[in-house]
Amino acid sequence: SKHDSPDSNDFDKESFNTLIGDSALDGVSEPEDNETCYLDKTFIRDSVSFFYNSDPNNLDDILLKQKYMYYMTEKKYGASIFNQSFYMSNFKQIFLYRFDYRLKTMGVLDLQDWMTSPQFGEIPFVFGMPYWTSVSSPIIWNSADKKVADSVMGFWGNFTKSFNPAQHGRNIKWEPYNPDMPSVMILDKVFNMSDPATINYKALTFWNEYFPKVVRIATQCCNMTNQSYKIDRTLTYRLFSVYTFYTLLAIFL
């Protein structure tokens, strides 16, 4: 169906909301005691949709596809990487990067115009594929791709020697991960450290800190009375409505 993938030409707001809702439960386990405990899947879906739901006036299929792509990247990769770095940085210097550069050479990793560089899109550069002369191929590598490969191979070479990718005379400042001021190196046409405009830190915090609370609240174990369950659910929705309340308050002031 058209809801199965954002690659569909008729990807619309309904498709976006369906995919968000269906994937929100990925990795969420049913309670072990399913006789007295209940997983409120609707509450989990609504919580994720509330955070990611697009502007109701935005019906552009390209923007919806990109928003879904960001959602999956943050949920499946970004949040866990930042969470792991948070703990590992207590023991070692951690250097994070996000590879945004799109290959200019045709026939290697061709993407649709609305797509960004995919996960592991840096692999051809890490292994210097633009310089593979022993492989018989009709591909003629773009000079810009070769320059990026030079830099990426240099980063990895420096890291293996000194545990710092930007050492040995490179005019690039690559700061180690700092839990108090988290940032990553953005590898694109120009290499720069990230800022709030290039990384959605709020989304990463949502998955690492808020979403586990959503799952805990959604897992209701009725070991007392049905009435206590209803009271707890009411409080839950009140807490979740605080943001909406303040938004409405700001509108009417």
* C-alpha span between 59 and 49 (Å, rounded): 16
Whether 190 maps to a domain, the answer reads no
Read off the amino acid at residue 139: I
In a shared domain, residues 47 and 169: no
**Regarding predicted confidence, which is higher, 250 or 20?**
20
pLDDT band at 237 (very low <50, low <70, confident <90, very high): very low
* C-alpha span between 120 and 177 (Å, rounded): 20
Give every CB contact of residue 25 below 8 A, 6+ residues apart in sequence: 41, 44, 45
Angle at 93 between CA 211 and CA 192, to 5 degrees: 80
**Confidence check: pLDDT of 222 > 80:** no
* C-alpha span between 214 and 217 (Å, rounded): 5
* C-alpha span between 146 and 130 (Å, rounded): 6
In a shared domain, residues 83 and 101: no
Whether 126 maps to a domain, the answer reads yes
**Confidence check: pLDDT of 2 > 60:** no
Whether 27 maps to a domain, the answer reads yes
- Domain that residue 208 falls in: 16-91+200-247
Domain endpoint, select from 142, 176, 210: 176
Whether 171 maps to a domain, the answer reads yes
pLDDT band at 6 (very low <50, low <70, confident <90, very high): low
DSSP letter assigned to residue 57 = T
In a shared domain, residues 162 and 217: no
> Distances in Å between the alpha carbon of 235 and those of 40, 96, 97, 209, 238?
15, 39, 40, 19, 5
**Confidence check: pLDDT of 233 > 80:** no
Count of structural domains within the chain: 2
pLDDT of residue 168: 63
Beta bridge partners of 97: 185
The token duo for 126 is: 């890490």
Whether 7 maps to a domain, the answer reads no
Give every CB contact of residue 184 below 8 A, 6+ residues apart in sequence: 96, 97, 98, 177, 193, 194, 199
Whether 46 maps to a domain, the answer reads yes
- Top-ranked range on mean pLDDT: pick from 36-50, 59-73, 141-155: 141-155
Give every CB contact of residue 50 below 8 A, 6+ residues apart in sequence: 240
pLDDT band at 177 (very low <50, low <70, confident <90, very high): very high
Whether 184 maps to a domain, the answer reads no
